[in-house]
Amino acid sequence: MPADAGRAPGGPGAAGLPDAAAVLARAAGENFPVAPRWLPRALRRDLLALYGFARLVDQLGDDAAGDRLALLDALEAELDRAFAGDARLPLFVEVGRVARERGLPREPFLRLVEANRRDQTVSRTASWAELEDYCRLSANPVGELVLGLFGAATPEQIAWSDAICTALQLIEHCQDVREDLGRGRVYLPADECKAFGVRERDLATAPAPEALRRLLAFEAERARALLRAGAPLFATLPPLARVCVAGFAAGGHAALDALAAGGYDATSRTLAPRRRDALRHALALLARSLLARAR
C-alpha cells in the first residue's frame, strides 16, 4: 500500500482525514503479526487494508484534534463512497476493492466506527457485560472481516473468533490501564474494581498497588479462558487462515505471559510479549488444531 494511503491526490481530502502511513507503521508494534511477510502478496495487501482502516478509526477516536465525532462522521461517509465504488482517499479505495472482491459486508466496518463514537461519550465501564458489548463493536468485527477474507465466516466460526477477539481487546485494556486513564477512560469494569478494592487513582500509580495487580490477574485469567474457548476455530480453517489466526491468538497468550512475568504491574512499564513466546504458543495451537482435524 503506498505511503499516502490516507490522502486524496494533492493533499488531505476534503473530509480532513489524516495520512494513513503512520497508522500502518504501527503494525510492527502489535501483540500479534498483522500481515506476515510470508503471506501471498495479494492476501497481505488485503489484510493491511483492513488493518489500516481499523487503526485509522482508532486514531481518530483516540488522538485526533478537534471534533472527533465530526471526523468519524466524515470517515463513515468515505466508507459509504468506498462501498459505492467512488472513494476519494486511497486507503478507502483499497477497502472498497477488498470488500467487493472478497464479498465483505459493510456492517462490521460500521461497528468499528460506532465503538469510537461510544468512546467520545462513555468514559467508564460499569460491568463485564458492558465491556463485552463494547468488544462486540471494537474488536470482534476485525476477526469477522479477517475470516471473510478467507471465505470462512460461518456463524459458528464467527462465534469462536468473537471469543478470541474479545480476549485480545481485554488484554490490551490490561496492558494499557495507565494510558487509557490518561485519555480519561477506564475500561476495567467498575463493579469488579470495587470488588477488588481498586481505586481510580491506582490505575496511574507505579508500581501498581496490590489490589490492581490482583484485579489484572483476574482479568488475565478471563482472557486466557476466552482464548481457549475460541481455539476450536483453528481446526476449521484452511491452512493459511489457520496460521494467521493462530498467530493472533498466540500473541494474546504471549502478552498474558508477559503480564504474569511482570507481576501484573502494568503501570510501571509496558509488559510487552516476547516473540519467542508468541512463536511457542503458535506452534502449540497449530499442533492441537492438526490433532483435532485428524480425529
Residues 67 and 151 grouped into a single domain:
no
Q: With a cut of 50, say whether residue 6 has pLDDT above it.
A: no
User: What does the chain come to in residues?
Assistant: 295
Average pLDDT, the chain: 90
Measured at the CA of 75, the angle between CA 71 and CA 9, to 5 degrees, comes to 100
Residues 46 and 61 grouped into a single domain:
yes
| pLDDT (0 to 100) of residue 8 | 40
Residue 103 domain boundaries: 1-121
Residues 136 and 111 grouped into a single domain:
no
How many independent structural domains does the chain possess? 2
| pLDDT (0 to 100) of residue 79 | 97
Angle between helices 41-63 and 68-84 (to 10 degrees): 150
For residues 4 and 72, what is the distance between their CA atoms, to the nearest angstrom? 20
For residues 145 and 31, what is the distance between their CA atoms, to the nearest angstrom? 19
Instruction: Answer yes or no: are the C-beta atoms of 90 and 6 closer than 8 Å.
Output: yes
Residues 141 and 264 grouped into a single domain:
yes
| pLDDT (0 to 100) of residue 49 | 92
Q: With a cut of 60, say whether residue 101 has pLDDT above it.
A: yes
Residue of 122, 91, 235, 224 whose CA lies nearest to 167: 224
Q: With a cut of 90, say whether residue 56 has pLDDT above it.
A: yes
Residues 41 and 163 grouped into a single domain:
no
Output the domain CATH number for residue 92.
1.10.600.10
Name the band, by pLDDT with cuts 50, 70 and 90, for residue 214. Answer: very high
Residues 48 and 182 grouped into a single domain:
no
- The one-letter code for the residue type at 234 is F
Query: pTM higher than 0.85, yes or no?
Result: yes
* Residue keyed to cell 482502516: 53
Residues 84 and 99 grouped into a single domain:
yes
| pLDDT (0 to 100) of residue 10 | 33
What percent of the chain lies above the pLDDT cut of 90? 81
Residues 255 and 234 grouped into a single domain:
yes
Residues 103 and 152 grouped into a single domain:
no
User: Using the 8-state DSSP alphabet, how is residue 106 labeled?
Assistant: S
Q: With a cut of 50, say whether residue 111 has pLDDT above it.
A: yes
Residues 117 and 203 grouped into a single domain:
no
Residues 147 and 51 grouped into a single domain:
no
Residues 116 and 128 grouped into a single domain:
no
